[in-house]
Amino acid sequence: MTSDSGAFEDSALIYDLIYGDKDSYGEARWVGDQLRRHRVPATGRLLELGAGTGRHARLLADSGYTVTAVDPSVEMLSHSIPHPRVTYSEGNGQNLRLESSFDAVLALFHVVSYQTTLEAAHSFFSTAAAHLDSGGIFAFDVWYSPAVIFQQPEARVLIKENELIRVTRKASPIEDIAQSRVDVHYSYSVEEIGTNVSRHFEELHSMRHFTIAELELLGSALGFSLIDSREFMSDRQPSRDTWGVWFAFRKN
């Protein structure tokens, strides 16, 4: 999902093709299971920050939740599909203020890692706190520092196509260890199948990785208690082998 609208300005049109094989159904089921573990009602009200094109929001709504899906990118939201229990809205997770409270606030697919400074992350946590009553849940997954540092980001090439286009994406990461950040430069080539028409563009996605202690300190400063941390989509404890880690905080 997204956090910085500029990062997805050009790739919004091909976002769902690029991540078409991502197990969104399994992820939504797993997230729903975690919410119920923490006593969020199965028909509760969810706020999803950085909802992108709304894939997780719609799947969670299919299971009974009412979801407000917020994203800063108008381009991403323009590719969302209407759902009777999903409300789409443009907004930035660092300063969003709605006149509503929710049973849980979610930030899926590393949205919190797009908050590349501690100040930005603090503002994001503040937004979550502002939309939860006592007992509400703030849950998200992030890049986990021990795994990122141990495994080290590497260059990759991804090729995806459908009946209309073929997309080639080259990822070139640059580490800034002192700032706990990885700057991923993406180079895209989008070719129309059956023609010689193609276009090229580039995007920069800067991602921050976090330790448990950093997130616990951020949470406690804004009235949260850490109640769970584990590998995303499993019961394994965070380690240097678990790049994506799920955290759940309860509002005090």
Query: Could you report the per-residue pLDDT of 16-50, keeping only the tens digit for each?
Result: 999 989 999 999 999 999 999 999 999 999 999 99
User: pLDDT at position 13, please?
Assistant: 85
The Cα–Cα gap between 70 and 53 comes to 10
Whether residues 56 and 93 fall in one domain = yes
Task: Count CB neighbours of 17 within 10 A.
Answer: 17
Whole-number average pLDDT of the chain: 95
Q: Hey, what amino acid is at 35?
A: L
CATH number of the domain at 119, please.
Answer: 3.40.50.150
Residue closest to 65 by CA, chosen among 91, 95, 114, 29: 29
Element (H, E) at 77: helix 74-77
pLDDT of 88 higher than 90: yes
Q: What distance in Å separates the CA atoms of residue 131 and residue 154, rounded to the nearest whole number?
A: 37
pLDDT in tens, 217-239: 999 999 999 999 999 999 999 99
pLDDT of 1 > 90? The answer is no
Task: Tell me the residue range of the domain where 174 lies.
Answer: 148-207
Arithmetic mean of pLDDT, 161-177: 96
Residue 105: its pLDDT value, please? 98
Are residues 52 and 22 located together in one domain of the fold? yes
Q: How far is CA 35 from CA 29, 38, 47, 125, in A?
A: 10, 5, 13, 18
What pLDDT, on a 0 to 100 scale, did the predictor assign at position 9? 64
Residues 15 and 125 in one domain: yes
Confidence at residue 12, expressed as pLDDT on a 0 to 100 scale: 84
Statement to judge: residues 34 and 132 lie in one domain: yes
Same domain? For 84 and 134 the reply is yes
